[in-house]
Amino acid sequence: MTQSVTVRPVRGKEDLKAFLDVPFALYASDPNWVAPLYLERLEHLDPKKNPYFLHAEVEFFLAFRGDRPVGRISAQLCRLRSERYNDGVGQFGFLEAEDDPAVFEALFAAAAGWLRQRGATTIQGPFSFSINDETGLLIEGFDTPPSMMMGHALPYYARRLEEAGFAKAKDVIAYDFLDQADTPRALRSAYDKAVADKDVTLRPLDKKQLLKELQIVVSIANDAWSDNWGFVPWTQEEMTALANNLKMLVTGDYIAIAEYKGEPAAMAITLPNINDWIAGLDGKLLPFGWAQVAWNLLARPPKSVRMPLMGLRRKYHGTPLGAVLGMAAIARVRNYHVGRGTRRGEASWILEDNMPMRRMIESFGGKPYKTYRIYEKSIA
């Protein structure tokens, strides 16, 4: 006789380890899944270390058959999001489960019940934790590994969500670049125009003034994306955490800032795709994984990079100058990486209906290769 599914909140270190362990069994035969590092995930889930918890309430749940964990989910309410939209939306994330409708239903019921008790009328996700973290469920592009800070999934997940009454809220797209030495014409033209314009300055980020520089980056981002679907602004604490994470990962040339008449107007950020480095470590840095990561970090350029952030101040949106500034910033970081021998990159994620950005990316060779879906369901 099949044992029934039970769900309980995560309590204590043993439950937390079980929560982190759930996907390892599920993806054991999937060659494209990259096991996250335990240390990094523990910090991400730690209210003392992740500034997301300063403006959000979170609960983690585990599903069991008997004593065996068979699924997991989080439920979260972000105060900043609620204040901005006042739409009754709570969110879920970290969804992983065996291919069993009963497991999915039990997990969704637990998350929805927790959110409903706190006044939510709609559940939306997955977000792990927010729209500024891992966003959406992979629905196309299962045949390649995910880039850093992008999710992977098993093909049956979408079917189980839809069977449980979830519907599409929004899709986001990841673009792949296989770059050769020749600069694409659109990027070369924008870069040449920017360099020739005495009012435009293109420069790398100054790591000696990292916090000040990231204030500029976040200011541009919060202005550029303020009208985007689901936007939640970055906080000062999140910016500080970002600065700490970037200290070892990147040089200043991974980030470009375009200024017009002395005012920062556009930026583009790239990061090494650390998934290329940690694949095969099974989530563990010890005993030798740290040496492998350090070697890749310090001794050679990455195999691939991801551009998670690109922004142009709103007053330049839809203008010829704005197109030059945005594309020139992208061209600068692209030229740096190609010059070092890195040939593959990802631009992600891009809202499906952000056609100006999509057309720009496609104009210099980007190919859509993964689609992530954000789902929602009424729980009123």
- The pLDDT averaged over each successive group of 10 residues in the chain (380 residues) is 88 96 97 94 95 97 96 98 97 98 98 98 97 96 96 98 98 91 84 94 94 92 94 89 80 96 97 91 73 67 93 95 95 93 94 94 93 97
pTM of the predicted protein model: 0.95
H or E element that contains 373: strand 367-378
pLDDT of residue 181: 67
CB atoms within 10 A of CB 263: 10
What CATH homologous superfamily does 180-342 map to?
Gcn5-related N-acetyltransferase (GNAT) (3.40.630.30)
Provide the residue ranges of all domains of the chain, joining segments of one domain with +: 5-175, 180-342
327 burial (CB, 10 Å; 0-12 / 13-18 / 19+) is buried
Residue with token string 């939510």: 120
**Is 101 exposed, middle or buried (CB count within 10 Å of its CB: 0-12, 13-18, 19+)?**
middle
Distance CA 148, CA 245 (A): 13
Q: Are strands 89-97 and 122-125 parallel, antiparallel or unpaired?
A: parallel
**Lookup: tokens for 314:** 């709103």
Cα dihedral sign for 62, 53, 114, 95? Answer: negative
Q: For residues 141 and 371, what is the distance between their CA atoms, to the nearest angstrom?
A: 7
Distance CA 194, CA 326 (A): 10
Candidates 350, 364, 257; CA nearest to 307 is 350
* Range 5-175: architecture per CATH: 3-Layer(aba) Sandwich (3.40)
For residue 172, give both structure tokens.
């986001």
3-state helix, strand, coil in the chain (%, to 5): 40, 30, 30
Locus of tokens 């496609």: 362
pLDDT at position 129 is 96
Residues 240/181, Cβ–Cβ less than 8 Å: no
5-175 and 180-342, same CATH topology: yes
Instruction: Decide: 77 and 57 in contact? Cβ < 8 Å.
Output: yes
The pLDDT value recorded for residue 239 is: 80
Task: Tally the residues of the chain.
Answer: 380
Q: Please tell me the predicted confidence (pLDDT) of residue 98.
A: 98
